[in-house]
Amino acid sequence: MSVLAQFIFSLVVLQMSAEIFAANQCSGNLCNQLPPRSCLDHLKRGSTSDGYYKIYNEDDDSLDSVYCDMVPDAAAAWTLVESFALSHKDEDPFRKHPLKVNAPVNEKSANFNRYRMSQPQMSSLKSVSTHWRATCSFPVYGIDGRDQARSNFKDFDIMTYIGVGVCKKMEYVNIRGHKCGKCTARWWAVLNAYSLHIDSSFAGCEFVPTVGAVASEDNFGHPQFINPNFRCHENANSTTNWWFGGYQCSE
């Protein structure tokens, strides 16, 4: 190879390396040219209002409608991945299937009444998320600290978890006003039997929500034994909501 050819080759390699680095950083104008993959991407581009947005689904190369909860004051954004009203509690995707299972419901049309992303959609979103949370009747109560759970995927990967009453690390959890932060809570998820949930009638971890619980009370999923004092169970229109999200400063 001539000296000139070597020089040209080196310039090409240098340019390719710069483009790859810029793509990985996803900032500035280049980031705005790439399709958003999460609600956090929309927040980075200046969107601050809750509502419906489009994000890229790499599984079928499409743009899917999702619901975003934007929290600009905390530089955070959350994407709804599953939500169901108590009136749909007996349907298999909401009662029997952990998030590890592909059990989509209205996966192209996000809503709070009856919705669950496909497993590939969730996996794609998880790859650009750091945290997850569960809430109750978000359209009614928003985020006020009650009847909520939050952790990060590093400490508790709910996309792969299968277990019975295992103590898992939480950043925050609250059931019927019982709450703790940076503690462990017991979680259940069994293939073809239990969707991911807490049974608040059981103690055994740092989080103890047993006072006021009904026998075998199920929270945030597998709603077989319900307690109207838990916001997800107040009435037939009450909803259980699952979200993936992240914080700009955590990247």
- How do residues 67-121 score in pLDDT, each as one tens digit? 999 999 999 999 999 999 999 999 999 999 999 999 999 999 999 999 999 999 9
First CA to last CA across the chain, in angstroms?
Answer: 42
pTM score, two decimals? Answer: 0.87
Length of the chain (residues): 251
- For 244, the token pair is 């993936």
Q: Please, which residues bridge with residue 62 across strands?
A: 57
Range 14-31 average pLDDT:
41
- The rounded distance, in Å, linking the Cα atoms of 218 and 214 is 9
Half-sphere exposure (Cβ direction) of 45: Cα atoms closer than 13 Å = 17
Whether residue 65 has pLDDT greater than 60? yes
Q: Are 68 and 77 in contact (CB under 8 A)?
A: yes
Give me the pLDDT at residue 33, please: 67
- Banded model confidence at residue 59, pLDDT cuts 50, 70, 90: confident
- The rounded distance, in Å, linking the Cα atoms of 1 and 237 is 72
Q: Are 233 and 115 in contact (CB under 8 A)?
A: no
Whether residue 27 has pLDDT greater than 80? no
Percent of the chain predicted with pLDDT > 70: 86
Percent of the chain predicted with pLDDT > 90: 82
How many Å separate Cα 129 from the centre of its chain? 8
- How do residues 191-233 score in pLDDT, each as one tens digit? 999 999 999 999 999 999 999 999 999 999 999 999 999 999 9
Q: What is the 3-state secondary structure (H, E, C) of 12-72?
A: HHHHHHHHHHHHHHCCHHHHHHCCCCCHHHHHHCCCCCCEEEEEEECCCCEEEEEEEEEEH
How many C-beta atoms surround the C-beta of residue 124 within 10 A?
Answer: 20
Q: In angstroms, what CA-CA distances link 102 with 39, 48, 105? A: 22, 31, 10
- What integer best gives the mean pLDDT of the chain? 90
Give me the pLDDT at residue 2, please: 55
Q: Are 148 and 131 in contact (CB under 8 A)?
A: no
Q: Are 187 and 164 in contact (CB under 8 A)?
A: no
